[in-house]
Amino acid sequence: MSRESIPTWFFVLAAVKLGNRYLLIHERKHGQLWYLPAGRVEPGEDFISAAKRETLEEAGIPIEVNGIVRIEHSPSLHGSRVRVIVSAKPVDDTLPKSAPDEESLEAGWFTVAQMSNLALRGPDVLEICSYLEDGGPIAPVTILSTEGASFA
């Protein structure tokens, strides 16, 4: 007997670090609060590509993903949500966007202490950045792979 498919949504968050500062987005949606570059993974897109795309769209910053902070799976009776939090760094000295567009109002670099004075979308922003600031371990990017990829 076959089972009904479980609706599943995939999201990525990018904790982009430059020195002791983290990249935050002043969101156009979600009450115009501050948050990490984040968004839904598009069909045919992997988590790393989604992190790069979302950060470029929302902040104007090209990034290199250097690790996996955590993979979260939140099942419910109506579906399932998978969220991958990545650690990243900018690939160059591009400044964050300062003019509003359809993706965000602006972006900026903030220390963990400065984040306490911002209207954040959720406590996870401070938790993630504090975890990384305290030297929390991150897994290598290679922990994410496509089905059937070689183990070598």
The C-alpha angle 82, 84, 86, rounded to 5 degrees, equals 175
Statement: residue 1 has pLDDT above 80: no
CATH superfamily of the domain spanning 8-140: Nucleoside Triphosphate Pyrophosphohydrolase (3.90.79.10)
Paired with 10 in beta bridges are 82
Q: What residue spans define the domains of the chain?
A: 8-140
- Tell me what pLDDT residue 3 has: 83
Q: Residue 148: left if φ>0, alpha if ψ -120 to 50, beta else—which one?
A: left
Give the start-end residues of each E strand in the chain: 8-18, 21-27, 34-35, 38-40, 63-76, 79-90, 104-110
Paired with 14 in beta bridges are 86
pTM assigned to the model = 0.94
Q: What is the pLDDT of residues 89-144, one digit of tens each?
A: 999 999 999 999 999 999 999 999 999 999 999 999 999 999 999 999 999 999 99
Q: What is the pLDDT of residues 46-71, one digit of tens each?
A: 999 999 999 999 999 999 999 999 99
Spatial distance between the Cα atoms of 124 and 129, rounded to a whole number of angstroms: 8
DSSP code at position 13: E
